[in-house]
Structures are given as structure tokens and as C-alpha cells.
A and B are shown apart, each in its own frame.
Chain A
Amino acid sequence: MRRIETRAIVIGGGATGAGTLRDLSLRGVPAVLIEKSDIASGTTGRNHGLLHSGTRYAVNDLESARECIRENKILKKIARHCIEDTGGLFVTLPEDDPSYHGKLIEHCKYAGIRCEEISVQEALRIEPNLNPGILAALRVPDGTIDPFRLTSANILDAQERGATVLTHTGVSGIIREGDRAAGVRCRDRGTGEEFEVYGEIIVNASGVWGQELCASAGIELRMFPSKGSMVIIDYRINNVVVNRCRVPSDGDIIVPGDTVSLIGTTSKKVDYDKIDEISVDEDEIATLLESGEKLIPNVSRTRVLRAYCGVRPLIAVSGEMDGREISRGIVLIDHEKRDSVGGIITIAGGKLMTYRLMAEMAADLACAKLKVRKRCRTQKTALPGSERRLDQAKSVKFFTGIPNSVVGSTLYRHGQRIRNILHREKRNYGLICECEMVTEGEIEYALKKLNVKDIVDLRRRTRIGMGPCQGQLCAYRAAGLFVKYDSATSTESNKMLVDFLEERWKGIKPVLWGDALREVEFSYWIYQGLFGLGDVRFPEEGEDR
């Protein structure tokens, strides 16, 4: 059996795991990251992409609010290309408790969040689609953040500094040697190969899935998963984040993101053994659309693109089972101290917003155990692509001859790395995904540099298939390009085309009415009626190799 040796093993390819890998790499610690699916495919990629100002937490959780605004300021510098500094509003509707407005201003002051009271007229000028019936408005430094881009940039930087990333690789268990966790048993889910990775320290950054992982090392870690559902609407109907100014509740935020807007979020408890089977419920969709419409009336006239849900990884601080000590904050556990099992630590809880801080805390503890005396540099070191301020005019000039919209989209998604992607060559900038302006060059770059194993992964790196048509034409084109660029065999490409369309279907199913249904009829007509993709028989594993 193959055996890999390293110093640190990070389990989990969400923002926290990727951030930890990068932090360790910046400190010169050799590290291997293992992710069972794709990077940012779990909780990280299943939120509303809000760059919190902390305002939402100011009244109930001052500590979280302070963390948020601190990280908000850092991310605006180090992750420019993953962020849009849109600004945010907190608006009071006639049916809302008017006193919350004042309370929020006061608590923002305590938290150090710049929260400015503006007139309703001013709010409507900033966000013309806003419900004109609002009674009061606050302006806060909310923004948007793309979790896929953020995680990918962390991974890319770590890999360029020597780290190893193994995606689509499951951890079947932790290898114990006496009172220590010495390594992990892995299985490559593509090839089926089993192998072992040994390291001096294991960082469990697997979020809600950490309960199982720890159990395999005889450690009890109790998660309290809570489901959050969101609805994506097919146009960017707002340009600033719109929050409802009331006690946190279902459906109180609309976040713009790239070409769409998102209505968030619901909160429902789920059983731990159901976390991989959760889906959006009918009543959640109704709630989100009803609440969304109150903030921005256009919601009811706009096509719903899809719905999805994620699991919040709330964690019990002590090993106790009664759930009273659930924390919504960051939890760092030294299992040597808590459970007398050396060689493993857990970083959990927290939020996408605080991923960097969580990574710093985990890397600090890991380094202390490894006796590495390097300080964290992630507050100041920009992510790849974000080294300089993005200047669209300059890029458009540099790439004269290539359509401005292509340059703009590529720059928006990859920041300065646009220079590694676009070339003044027609093949390079020919469009593959016309909804999201993804070029063949961008796909080639993603296939070669960004750990892409299938079309679903490719979507997370490039937005291919995320637009109005949900991959009608570009899915087939992408499958063809996997073969063209030697990233898959023809059989694998056929298979990943099925998987991609089934994956898109999961998010469309709950919102299957109106134009979404029309679009599905068309897609199904093409892929089944015209192509017969559902009739393709796939050989048993290994038959084709």
C-alpha cells in the first residue's frame, strides 16, 4: 500500500481546511490536505456568500460581531478578487419592531462597526428595487464573497508553496499508534486506490463531518447540525446586500452575487445521520419567496433559478451530550488535552467570514506542537490574484482585441491571474459557457491548475453552468474539453456529464415551475431526446482501463 509522509495533515477542503493548509505552507510546514469530495463542496459552498460586517450579530453575539468586522477588513485587502464591496442596508418594514433599529445602532458602536443611519430616500437611491414602504434604513459595510473562489485561491497558493492537495479522496479512518493519532487511511474515490498518509499532526477541519472522523480515533465530538436553505433568483435584482432590520429570522437577507441574487436563509434542525441527504422543503421555498418579496417586491416577478441548502456545523464544547453548551463561535480543540489522544486537533464552528482566523488558530496550535516558530502571515499576504487592486480599464487595454465582457468576467473571477489565462488567440477566448462568459482558455487553466476532476468541480472554479440555462449547451462542451485536454477518458467524460446534469437537477427540482420548468424540458429534450445520454451504459470499474 502506498504511504505518504508529511508533517501536517489537514482533513477537509472547505474554507477552513484550505486556509489552514495555506497558513501552514506560508510558515514552511509541509502539509497534505485530504478532501472527500471537491474543495468548497460542503458547508463552505452552501451559504449565501455574504461578507458579513458583523451587524447581524451585533445585538445577540458581540464577540462574533467583532470577529466579523475585523476579518471583513482583512479580507477586503487579501482577497480582493473574491469580494465585492457592495455595502449593505438594514431596512425596517412596517410590521417590524421599530426599536430594533436603535438597538442595532448602539450595539454596532460597541462592536466597532460603522453603521450609519440614512433616510429612506437615500436607501432607495442606493437600491432602487427596494420596497418603497420601508420605515427606516441603516448603511453598514456588508459585502459579498465568493466561497468557491476564496477556497480555490487558498488552495492554489498553498500548492504553489509546496503543499499537496488530494480531492475526491475519502478518509476511512484515523490510524492510532498508542495514545497518538499517527495518520489516516485514505481511498481515492476515482481510482479506488487505498493508501495511507502519516504526519506529526492532524488538523481536523472537516466541519460537521468531523464527528465520524473523530469517532474513528476513539474521540467523541458531538455536532448539532442545522440546515439552512436558500433560493437563487435569475437576475441580480439588487446591487447592495439588503437585510431586514429585526431579530434574526428566516428569509431576512438578499445578497447579490455575480449575475444572480440569493434569498437566505432558513434554519431547521437535522439529525446527524441525515446530513448527507438533506434537501430543500416546499415550505422553506414559500417562506423565502414571501419574505424576499417584502424586501424587494421584484422577487415575485423574477424567475427562480434553483434552491439549495447547507448544514451549519454547530458543536458541543464539552464532551457532554445534552447540547446545552452548543457554541456558535469558533472552537479549537486540543485532543491531547481534552481526550488524551495526541497528534490531532479540531478546528470547528465559526463562519465562512472567520475562516482565516480559524486557520490561524489551528495553524498556531499545530505549529506549537511541531515546534515551528514562525508567525502567521495571512493577515497581510494577499491571495493569488489579489496582489493588486483590480483595474478593469487597464486589463481591457492590455487584452485589446478580446471582447471586453470576456476580459471583465475573467478578471472578476481570477483577479491578476487573468494574465495566466487569457491570450490574444481565438481558440483561447472562444466562449464555452455563454451565460457566464467562460472561455476555453479559462477551462484549460482550471483543468491544469485548479484541481478539477469533473464538470461539477469545474463549475465551482469558473461558474460554468451556473447561469440561466444551467448548463444546457456548455455541459456537453465541457465534457468534450476534458477529453481534448487529456483530463478524462471518453467514458469518464460521458459519466461526468450525467453526474453534472443530475447535480444541477437537485437544485432545480424544488423550484420546478414557470421558466425553470421550460428550461428543464429543453435540457431534457437535448440530453435525452436528442443525445440519449440516459441510455449510455457505463462499464464496470476498470473495464475500460
Chain B
Amino acid sequence: MRYDCVVIGGGLSGLTCGIRLAEKGARCAVISTGMSALHFSSGSIDLFGYNGDGRTVFRPFEFLDEFIGSHPLHPYARCGSSRVREALFYFRDTLAREDIDLYNNEDANHFHVTTLGTLKPTFFSQRSVFNEKIRLAFEKKSKIAALNFEGYRDFYPELAVINLRRNILFRNIEVISGKLLYPDYGDPQRNPFEYRSIDIARIFDTERYIEDLAAQIRAAAGDAAFAAMPAFLGITNFRRHHQLLQQLTGLLIYEIPTLPPSILGMRIDNALKSRFAALGGVYIAGDTVKGGTIAGGRLKSVATVNGGGSELEAGSFVLASGSFFSGGLVSEFSRVREPVFGLRVYSDAERSKWHAPEFFPRGGHPFLEYGVETDERLNPFTDDGQTLKNLYCTGALLPHYNPIREGTGGGVAVSTGYRAAELILSGNR
């Protein structure tokens, strides 16, 4: 098979890249081993949440302008501030076509509430997680009802409420809690005390139970203006059901991301795959790239585990295979390596330096900042030092940034994915 571009990795970065390429008419394939990190994410897209001292960044683009100058190796510096902006709003428009409406507070960050009631600065959130009405109600100090399903083992609002109450932003805001019952949908084999977020989401993907749920929410929320609940509103019909529930209850219904699988992240994952397919992209699921043929400083083709003898040829390739967790990087007793092409990796030689002494360190863990070294055009280097001119590395695979400490994971994935697509497109023309 021959493509214009083969993207290795079907996560946030790989799909953003693939969509941009396909949209511009490139024949494009995305190869994905399995579920991407979106399934474990908050479903909000962070741009820049914290500065070097761990303080909250309020205006991320302004911050970025300055930051890039002093951090030339950071993935955002590889893109440039204006291209990061272009990429993020491109991403928002892409999801809008798939019926996911992302909220952003103009150029500023907003906060989403976590499962534990801490606040995370982020740039885009789905409108069921944050929107203007929520902000207004919040500013009026309206009462919040934290509701949960009886026996749902993956969400305990009590643990969140105590932390919210202690937060200065929530001072003088009353938070009450209440219980909801699952509808009896007639599967005696399943134990409702073992439901995961996805089981609940599937129940509420059908309209059948929405009315009953609305009545329960009204009763449990009392005179509150908000009902905050674990994200449960389905994967496909969530937007309609969210509106319906708000109409029926007269309340603002607010979703909180929970333990994986992340319903909010899965919606984005679905939307991206759907958009990619609509543009004629080929999505190869459940296969893994195991190596490739390199000649004259270029990657000619890649071989996959399920591909038999045949290789996938392309003019350009994108490696968006993620970090350790997704298998893009592999660590061994005394080294870190990139497993597909053996690319040059940035890491510390001594294993004792890979991590901080505590699990929750102020400065984050060094291993999160390891990854495949690239030049300014995101091209990596082989073991013997040659640059692979037609291979572009994006997303969590890249080094010199710390997605969790900085709150940059989603933004880096989107903007480097988009950047790689632009480089490929300009190179081809």
C-alpha cells in the first residue's frame, strides 16, 4: 500500500495531524495499537496551566510569547506561539463539525473541577463541563448540588466537597450532596455496584431514561442552581441529552471527569475518528508498527505486526506513539529507548535520576520530560546521527516538556500534530 502520509499513533496528536492532512487532500493512514490516552484524560484541553514556580497561568498565550524565547527546546517553541493558537482553534472548529462544542474563556484559562474537588486551569472544556452560564451562576454564588448514583464505586463527592469548601473561590457557596438511583434497565447479570463510567454512559445514551433521571435530579437538588455529577451523559447523544436534562430540570447540569474510562475523553476520541473517516482517512486499529526501512536519510516504509510481509509505503511519516504508558518510549533496567526505529532519545543515564523522591513532588518527575530528540522541524535522529527528513515526531513522545507539571499535555499534542501536518503539506507542495 502507498500513502502520502502514514501516522503512527491514533491519539490526540496523531488524529489531529491525520485530519489536517486528509482535509488538504493527502492520502493518509493512521495506525493505532489500542485505546489512546484520551480514554484516561479529563476531556479538557490544557494549553498552559502552571508556570515554572507552579503558579497558575491565567493568560496562556501571553505567557507563551515570553516562555518560548527562554525554552527553545520546548515543543511549543518548535511550533511558535501564533501556530499554537492556529492549531488550537483549528482543533476547536474540527470538533464543532462533529457536534462537540468546546468552551474557551476568550484568551484566558478557565478552571474545571476535578474528582477530588481541586481546580485545574485549562483552555478548552466541553460545554457540559464549563460554559458562560456556569460562570455567571458561579459568580452569583448560586448553590451547587453534588449528585451521585447510589453505589457508584468510581465517584465519591464527599471527598471533593471538602476540598471545594476550602477553596477561596468557593467561599460562601453552598454545596449540598444527594443520591440518584440507576434506572432498572433489566440486566440481572450485571452488578450495578461494579458499573464503570462507560456502563452509566451507555444507559443514558438512550433517551428512555432521561425523564426519570430528570425527576430524580430535581428532587435531589432541591433549590440548587447547579447539579454537578460524574460525567455520565453518553458518548454519542450527549449534547442533546444534556440540553434535554437542563430543560426538564431547569438546572445547570455540570459534568465532572472521573476515574477512567473517561467519558469526556472518549467523546473527543470518537469525534476525531469520525472526522478523519469522513475525510477519507484510513484508520487501522489494533495494529502496531514494528519497524521500517530507512534509506538515504528517509523512511521508505513501515512494517506492522499484522501486516504479514507487506509494508506500508509513504512519502512522509508521523510518529505520534505517545510516552512510556502508550509504548512510544520503553524503559529498561538502565536505559530509555524508542522501540520502533531506535531513534535518539533524551533521558538521564542514571536510573535513580528518572524520578523524584516523592510520588507527588513539587517539581514533577523527570521521566515525564524524556522523549525523542528532534530538530526544529520535528525530524528525529537515528542512532548513527542522521536526520530522518520525512519522519515527524509529535505529542507525548517529545522531550523537554512536562505535561502534568506545566498543564500542557493536550495543547502540545494538538499543536505539534498540527505543526507536523503543515510541515508535510508545505514540503509536498
Rounded to whole angstroms, the CA-CA distance of A513 and B158 in the bound complex is 36
Q: Is the interface of A mostly helix, strand, loop or mixed?
A: helix
Chain B stretch 326-370: residues in CB contact (< 8 A) with chain A: 327, 330-334, 351-352, 354-355, 357-361, 365, 367-368
Flag whether B404 is at the interface (Cβ < 8 A).
Answer: yes
Question: Are B151 and A530 touching (Cβ within 8 A)?
Answer: no
In whole Å, how far is B130's beta carbon from the nearest beta carbon of chain A?
16
B114 within 8 A of A: yes
* Any B CB within 8 A of the CB of A440: yes
Query: Given the complex of chains A and B, what is the CA–CA distance between A533 and B114 in angstroms?
Result: 9
- Does B27 touch A at the CB level, under 8 Å? no
| Interface residue? B193 (CB, 8 A) | yes
**Contact flag A432-B360 (CB < 8 Å), given A440-B193, A526-B40, A530-B257:** no
Query: Do residues B159 and A427 form an inter-chain contact, with CB atoms below 8 A?
Result: no
Is A537 an interface position by the 8 A CB rule? yes
Question: Is there an interface contact between B159 and A490, defined as CB atoms closer than 8 Å?
Answer: yes
A477–B201 Cα distance when bound, in Å, is 19
List residues of B (214-272) whose CB comes within 8 Å of A's CBs: 257, 259-260, 262
Q: Which of B118, B162, B324 contacts A533 (CB 8 A)?
A: B118
- CB-defined interface of A524-545 with B at 8 Å, one 1/0 digit per residue? 1111111111111101000000
Residue B212 at the chain A interface, CB threshold 8 Å: no
Beta-carbon contact of B352 and A282 below 8 Å: yes
Residues of chain B within 8 A of A529, CB atoms compared: 42, 403-404, 409
Known: A429-B191, A494-B163, A529-B403. A480 touches B323 (CB 8 A): no
Contact assessment for A494 and B359 in the assembled complex, using a CB-CB cutoff below 8 Å = no
- A contact residues around B355 at 8 Å (CB): 509, 512, 520
Majority secondary structure, B binding face = loop
Minimum CB–CB distance for B215 against chain A, Å = 24
Instruction: Answer yes or no: B100 CB below 8 A from chain A CBs.
Output: no
Could you tell me if B404 and A505 are in contact, using CB atoms closer than 8 angstroms?
no
Chain B residues with CB below 8 A from A493, complex form: 158-159
Decide if A431 is an interface residue (CB 8 Å cutoff). Answer: yes
A536 — which chain B residues lie within 8 A by C-beta?
116, 118, 163
Q: Are B118 and A524 in contact (CB under 8 A)?
A: no
List chain B residues, Cβ under 8 A from A426.
Answer: 191-193
Q: Which of A490, A517, A528, A532 is within 8 Å of B161, CB to CB? A: A490
Chain B CB within 8 A of A473 CB: yes
1/0 contact trace for B360-398 toward A, CB 8 Å?
110001011000000000000000000000000000000
A270 sits at the interface (CB 8 A): no
Partner of A430, one of B120, B193, B324, B351: B193
Most interface-central of B41, B193, B257, B351 (chain A CB within 10 A) = B193
For A483, what are the chain B residues with a Cβ–Cβ distance below 8 Å? Answer: 156, 158-159
Chain A residues, Cβ within 8 Å of B191: 426, 429-430
- Please tell me which one of the listed residues A477, A505, A517, A527 contacts residue B324 in the complex, with CB atoms under 8 A apart: A517
Interface range, A side: 35 or more
- Collect the chain A residues with CB atoms within 8 Å of residue B116's CB: 494, 531-533, 536
**A532 to B167 Cα, complex, angstroms:** 13
The residues of A that contact B156 with a CB separation of less than 8 Å are 476-477, 479-480, 483-484
A interface footprint on B267-297 (CB within 8 Å = 1, 0 otherwise): 0000000000000000000000000000000
Specify which of A490, A518, A532 is in contact with B158 (CB 8 Å cutoff).
Answer: A490
**Cβ-closest chain B residue relative to A403:** B191
Nearest CB of chain B from residue A66's CB, rounded to whole Å: 42
User: Nearest Cβ distance between residue A33 and chain B, in whole angstroms?
Assistant: 31
Complex CA distance for A513 and B404, rounded to whole angstroms: 20
| Size category, B interface | 35 or more
Report how far A539 CA is from B162 CA in the complex, Å.
11
* CB <8 Å contact, A512 and B193: no
Question: Does chain A have a CB within 8 A of B325?
Answer: yes
Residue B194 lies at the interface, judged by CB distance under 8 Å to chain A: yes
Q: Which of B114, B153, B162, B330 contacts A432 (CB 8 A)?
A: B153
Is the pair B162, A490 in contact by a Cβ cutoff of 8 Å? yes
Interface residues of A in 263-321 (CB under 8 A from B): 282
Q: Is the CB of B325 within 8 A of A491?
A: no
Question: Quick one: closest A residue to B117, CB to CB?
Answer: A536
A473/B259 in contact, CB under 8 A:
yes
Decide yes or no whether B99 CB sits under 8 A from chain A. no
Closest chain-A Cβ to B419's Cβ sits at a distance in Å of 23
Chain A 483-522 per-residue mask, 1 if CB under 8 angstroms from chain B, else 0: 1100001110110011001101100010011100110111
**B155 contacts across to A, CB distance below 8 A:** 480
Residues in A with CB closer than 8 Å to B257 are 530
| Pairwise interchain contact B151-A522, C-beta atoms closer than 8 A | no
Q: Give the complex CA separation of A533 and B324 in angstroms.
A: 22
A509 to B355, CA, bound (A): 8
Q: Smallest CB-CB separation from B54: which chain A residue?
A: A535
Residue B98 is within 8 A (CB to CB) of chain A in the complex: no
Q: Which of A477, A518, A528 contacts B404 (CB 8 A)?
A: A528
A residues near B158, Cβ cutoff 8 Å? 480, 483-484, 490, 493
Question: Measured between alpha carbons, how far is A363 from B365 in the docked complex, in Å?
Answer: 50
Residue from B40, B166, B331, B361 in contact with A522 in the complex, judged by beta carbons closer than 8 Å: B40
Within the complex, the shortest CB–CB distance from B166 to chain A, in Å, comes to 7
Q: Decide: A494 and B120 in contact? CB cutoff 8 A.
A: no
A440-B153 in contact (CB<8A): yes
Instruction: A490 to B156: give the CA distance in the assembly, Å.
Output: 10
Q: Let me know if B325 and A521 touch, CB within 8 A.
A: yes
Task: Decide if A505 touches B359 in the complex (CB within 8 Å).
Answer: yes
Give the contacts of A441-456 with B (CB-CB under 8 A).
Answer: none
Interface: B154 (CB within 8 A): yes
- Does A537 lie within 8 Å of B166, measured CB to CB? yes
Contacts of A497 in B (CB 8 A): 159
Closest partner residue, chain A, to B362 (CB atom): A534
Question: Nearest Cβ in chain A — how far from B70, in angstroms?
Answer: 25
- Asked if A521 meets B161 with Cβ closer than 8 Å, knowing A477-B153, A502-B359, A512-B351, the reply is no
The answer to whether residues A501 and B359 also contact, given A476-B259, A490-B158, A530-B41 and a CB cut-off of 8 A, is yes
Q: Is the CB of A533 within 8 A of B360?
A: yes
Min CB–CB distance B362 → chain A (angstroms): 8
Contacts of A520 on B, CB cut-off 8 Å?
355
> Are A524 and B365 in contact, with the CB atoms below 8 A?
yes
Name A514's contact: one of B114, B331, B361 (CB within 8 Å): B331
Q: Which residues of chain A are near B119, meaning CB under 8 Å?
A: 532
CB distance from B56 to the nearest CB of A (A): 10
**A299 vs B156: C-alpha distance in the bound complex, in angstroms?**
39
In the complex, what's the smallest C-beta–C-beta distance from A293 to chain B, in angstroms? 13
Mark out the residues of chain B between 140 and 156 whose CB falls within 8 Å of any chain A CB in the assembled complex.
Answer: 151, 153-156
A497 to B116, CA, bound (A): 11
Q: How far is the CB of A296 from chain B (nearest CB, A)?
A: 18
Judge whether A522 and B114 touch: CB under 8 Å. no
Contacts A483-B156, A530-B257, A536-B116 given; does A427 touch B359 at CB 8 Å: no
Report yes or no: A531 in contact with B40, Cβ–Cβ below 8 A. Answer: no
Chain B residues with CB under 8 Å of A490's CB are: 158-159, 161-162
Closest partner residue, chain B, to A529 (CB atom)? B404
**Which residues 54-99 of B have a CB within 8 angstroms of A?**
none
Pick the contact of A521: B118, B333, B367 (CB < 8 A).
Answer: B367
Q: How far is the CA of A520 from the CA of B161 in the complex (A)?
A: 27
Closest to B156 in A: A480
Task: Beyond the given A473-B259, A493-B159, please list 15 additional residue pairs across the A-B interface where CB-CB is below 8 A.
Answer: A430-B194, A432-B153, A476-B156, A477-B156, A479-B156, A483-B156, A490-B158, A494-B162, A512-B354, A514-B332, A514-B333, A525-B325, A529-B42, A532-B119, A533-B360
- 21 residue pairs bridging A and B, Cβ less than 8 Å apart: A427-B193, A430-B153, A476-B159, A480-B159, A484-B158, A490-B158, A502-B359, A513-B332, A513-B351, A517-B324, A517-B354, A518-B327, A521-B324, A525-B37, A528-B360, A529-B404, A530-B40, A530-B114, A531-B116, A533-B118, A533-B360
By Cβ-Cβ distance, the 3 closest A-B pairs, closest first, are: A430-B193, A480-B156, A532-B118
